[in-house]
Amino acid sequence: MSKLFSPVRIGRLQIDHRVVLAPLTRMRAEEGAVPGPLMAEYYSQRSSRGGLVITEATIAIDGGNGYLGAPGLYDDSQIDGWKAIVDAAHKKGATIFVQLYHAGRQSHRDLQPGGGAPVGPSEIAHGGVAYTEKGWVPNTPNRALRTEEVEDLVSGFKLAADRALAAGFDGVELHAANGYLFDQFLQDGSNKRTDRYGGSQQNRFRFLNETIEAVSSVFGYDRVAVRLAPSGSFGDMSDTNSRELFEYVVSELAKLDLAYLHLIEPRVLGNDADLSRSQEPVATRSLRKLYPGIIIAAGGFTGLSAEEIIASGDADLVAFGRHFVSNPDLPERLRNGWPLNDYDRESFFGGTAAGYTDYTFFLQSKAS
């Protein structure tokens, strides 16, 4: 009996299979970070009866972007485009969460309102690239947020959640992975603050914790989720005690009865396997004992390894990234053991329908 195709409850939501569309930045939004019909087609293609869809990282607050072409929910003008996407997903019988994000220091002044410096917990030199009108360019130095600005960001996330609710989303996933703003606050390589948002693990968790509370005031805790990349180094991240930090964060999240906890396995960071890690990897297996709720695992899974991790009890669902890029009917392919299309990296970020909505469905390719 396949566990991958057995039902599971997420809070008040019923999910019929466990092949989840991972959040995937594809940078095909229209002017003003507005989602258009091309995005609606893409999400419709990847929505299946009883499935769970998580949107790409969506800019929660103006200035919180690192990639031109990413969609937003920081302005009311962006709600209708999302409504069309949510309706398309629901029509296919899927549940859809929006991933809200703030890039923090992983940005460029050309992406900032007024051309100012990107913001982060502390002013620390770091690498990484942003995508602007000039293409991929090195991030520009960030400035440190003032305490009251952090409080404003929490309120900004609540407003984005209000818009997500208006668009009809079933829930919100906060992107606290991959070196973006929440992750920058969590890990001490990027957070040297001396106010109540820096220092102890409790203080570094505070920004995320307050945002969870604010967003839950809109959706309810059982429709709010968090994505973490425990010990991830993407975005120049580091922590002097990664294991203890993420064990603390996961234990705190376990108290909140969230929709789910989404964990990226350390064997894959962002897009590429990273086998030369300097930090001790903290994987789903070790965190499961601290988190009795629903866990979604992601990172380098195949149908077989997804079955295995669910059967072991270490995760309840598995999110697929790159395979879902090139296989819009991934759940059906895995269910039937059909072969998978290869993905084309060149068209991952930005562009047209090519490499976005033109991947074939198995039955369609067989018929032609």
Supply the residues annotated as catalytic: 180
CA separation for the pair 105, 125 (Å, rounded): 10
Residue 56 within binding range of ligand FMN, rule CB under 6 A:
yes
**Binding region for ligand FMN (CB under 6 A) out of 22-30, 81-89, 188-196, 213-221:** 22-30
Q: Rounded to 5 degrees, what angle do the CA atoms 51, 55, 60 make? A: 145
Number of residues that bind ligand FMN (CB under 6 A): 24
**Binding region for ligand FMN (CB under 6 A) out of 9-17, 132-140, 304-312, 316-324:** 316-324
CA separation for the pair 128, 130 (Å, rounded): 7
> Which is nearer to ligand FMN, 179 or 198 (by Cβ)?
179
Give the SS3 label for residue 124: coil
Residue 321 within binding range of ligand FMN, rule CB under 6 A:
yes
| The dihedral formed by the CA atoms of 356, 228, 94 and 292, expressed in degrees to the nearest 10 | 160
> Which is nearer to ligand FMN, 161 or 269 (by Cβ)?
269
Could you tell me the two tokens for 146? Answer: 């003032």
Q: Provide φ and ψ at 22, rounded to 5°.
A: -70, 150
Contact set for ligand FMN, span 162-181 (CB under 6 A) = 175, 177-178
**Binding region for ligand FMN (CB under 6 A) out of 17-25, 149-157, 250-258, 355-363:** 17-25
CA separation for the pair 310, 157 (Å, rounded): 32
**What character string, x for contact with ligand FMN (CB under 6 A) and - otherwise, covers 125-154?**
------------------------------
Residue 357 within binding range of ligand FMN, rule CB under 6 A:
no
CA separation for the pair 173, 167 (Å, rounded): 15
- Strands 295-298 and 272-273, bridge-based pairing: unpaired
**Binding region for ligand FMN (CB under 6 A) out of 4-12, 72-80, 106-114, 296-304:** 296-304
- Out of 15, 19, 22, 226, the only residue in the binding site for ligand FMN (CB under 6 A) is 22
**What character string, x for contact with ligand FMN (CB under 6 A) and - otherwise, covers 203-242?**
------------------------x---------------
CA separation for the pair 3, 63 (Å, rounded): 42
Residue at token pair 């059982």 = 222
Residue at token pair 């629901």 = 90
Under a CB-based contact definition with an 8 Å cutoff, are residues 273 and 300 in contact? yes
The contact set with ligand FMN (CB under 6 A) reads 22-25, 56-57, 99, 175, 177-178, 227, 264, 268, 270-271, 298-301, 320-323, 348
